[in-house]
Amino acid sequence: MKKSFVKMNAMKFAIPLFVALAYGPAQAQILGPELASFAVLGASDVTSANVSNITGNLGSFPTAPTTAATNFNFITAGSFQPGTQGTAQTQLDTALAALPVYGLGVTVTGGSLDTFFSGTGGVIGPGTYSVPFLASGNITGNIVLDGGGSNTAVWNFVFEDSLITSTVSNVSVTDVGDGANVGVYWKVNSSATLDGPTFAGNVLAVASITTDGNLTMGCGRLLAANGNVTLDGVGSTISAGCFGIDTPGSGSGGFDQGNPMAPIPEPEIYAMMAVGLGLLGWVGRRKKLKEAAAA
C-alpha cells in the first residue's frame, strides 16, 4: 500500500508537469483583429498633405479625420472606417500594454541603432531591444532586420521616449521565410518621426506619428494612441497587408505574427517542473535498486 501511494503521488506531480509543458501560458497575437485591419490609425486626426496610397483601413478616434477623402487613395483593400476605429483604439491600448516595457531585453547603448547595427556585424536578429532617447535621431542610415531564415522571427523595439529617423534612413526585413509568422513592433513611449524613404513594421506610438517626405512602408502600420498621424511631403505609401513588395515578407499580415509567441512558463510552473522531475527520478532510482536486490 505504501509503495502504491508513493507511485500514485509521483504520477500526481508528473501529470501536471507534462500538462504544464504542453499547455503553458502563451502570448497571443499582439494586434487585435480590428486594429490589424488599419494601415493608419490616429486619435485626434489623420492628415495627408498630398495623396497617400493606403492598403488597409484608415481612421481616427475619438476625433474623425478632417482631410478630404481625395487625399487618400485606397489600394486593393481598405477604406475610411467610422464604425470600428473606437474598438481599434481600445485594442491599441491593449497592444501597447502587451508589448515589453522599456528596460527589458538588450539595451541599445546611446540610443543609436546605426551604431548598434555596426557593432553586431550588420545584423539585428530577432529579440527585444530597449532604445534610450537620442535627440539627434535613432536611425540615420540603413538598418536590416535579419531573421536568419526563421519564419517565426519577432522583433520588439521599445523606445524610452521618441523614435526619430533621418531623411536618408531605411529599415528593411530580410531572410524570414515566407514571413507568415513574423512580428516587427516599434513601441514608442512618446512620438515617432519617420523622415526616411522606407520603413518596415508596426509603429505603436503613445502620442503622435509624423512623416516628412515620401515614406514607403510596404509592410507595417502607423498607429497613434493619443495624437495625430500626419503624412507630410509629397505623399506616403502605407500597406498593412504587405502588398506590392519584393521581399520574402509578402503575405505576412503586416508583420504581426500569425501564431502565438513562444510561451514563457510562470514561476509556479518552473517549481512544478522541478518537483515533478525530482519525484520521477526518485521513483526510477527506487525501481533500479529493487531490481538489483532481486537479481
Place of cell 506619428: 209
240, 254 Cβ separation under 8 angstroms: yes
Domain range list for the chain:
39-239
Amino acid at 122: G
pLDDT (0 to 100) of residue 168: 95
The pTM (predicted TM-score) of the whole model is 0.77
Which pairs with CB-CB distance under 8 Å and at least 24 residues apart come from 76-83?
76/241, 76/243, 77/241, 78/37, 78/39, 78/54, 78/240, 81/37, 81/38, 81/57
Question: Which phi and psi angles does 4 have, rounded to 5°?
Answer: -60, -40
pLDDT, residue 288, reads: 53
The closest of 144, 151, 105 to 125, measured between CA atoms, is: 144
pLDDT of residue 180: 77
For residues 193 and 164, is the Cβ–Cβ distance under 8 A?
A: yes
Cβ atoms of 40 and 229 closer than 8 Å: yes
What is the Rg, in whole angstroms, of the alpha carbon atoms belonging to the chain?
24
pLDDT in tens, the chain (295 residues): 444 433 334 333 333 332 232 233 333 479 999 999 999 999 999 999 888 999 889 999 999 887 656 688 888 777 888 889 999 999 999 999 999 999 999 999 999 999 999 999 999 999 999 999 999 999 999 999 999 999 889 999 999 999 999 999 999 999 987 777 899 999 999 999 999 999 999 999 999 999 986 899 988 999 999 999 999 888 899 988 775 433 433 456 789 986 433 333 333 333 433 444 454 454 455 555 555 555 5
Under a CB-based contact definition with an 8 Å cutoff, are residues 20 and 265 in contact? yes
Residue 267, pLDDT score: 37
Q: What is the pLDDT of residue 259?
A: 43
Query: Which residues is 156 bridged to in the sheet?
Result: 128, 185
Nearest in space to 113 (alpha carbons), one of 99, 100, 127, 101: 127
Please tell me the predicted confidence (pLDDT) of residue 110.
97
Q: What is the pLDDT of residue 290?
A: 53
Q: 258: which residues sit within 8 A by CB, 6+ positions away? A: 29, 180, 181, 252
Give the per-residue pLDDT at 73.
Answer: 87
- The helices-and-strands tally (H runs, E runs) of the chain is 5, 19
Angle, CA 35 vertex, CA 244 and CA 72 arms, to 5°: 50
Residue 139 — φ and ψ, nearest 5°?
-135, 120
Q: What is the pLDDT of residue 69?
A: 60
Q: How far is CA 211 from CA 24, 40, 108, 247, 274, in A?
A: 41, 12, 24, 23, 52
